[in-house]
Amino acid sequence: MQKIAALWLLAGVVGLASNVAEARVDVGIGIGIPWPAVVVPPPVYYEPPPPIYYEPAPVVVEPRPVVVTPGYGYYYDDWQARAWREQQWRERQWRERHREWHRWHGYYDN
């Protein structure tokens, strides 16, 4: 029994090996009878809707009120007037003290 199984195994291996090693050219004649074909449609693809972009709410900023003053402005005019008054006061003080000094020292005794 073992001999028969071994022979069948050997015959199967030789039979498979001979088909692989065989080089031949086959010529076939075919008759074109259409076979019923089953056509499967491609899957339906639904494109997602485009993303919705919301425009931000407009920002309204009121400009600051513009204040216009005549001339160069209060501070500049005030500073300029104070400087002029101080200069006049110093000149007056100098003249008065200079006259007093001359009177005390007798320069006007003619």
Domain spans, the chain:
73-110
Are the beta carbons of 102 and 108 closer than 8 angstroms? yes
Question: Can you list the residues of the chain whose pLDDT is less than 70?
Answer: 15, 17-23, 69-77, 107-110
Are the beta carbons of 76 and 83 closer than 8 angstroms? no
pLDDT score at 91: 92
pLDDT score at 77: 65
**Its pTM surpasses 0.75:** no
pLDDT score at 21: 54
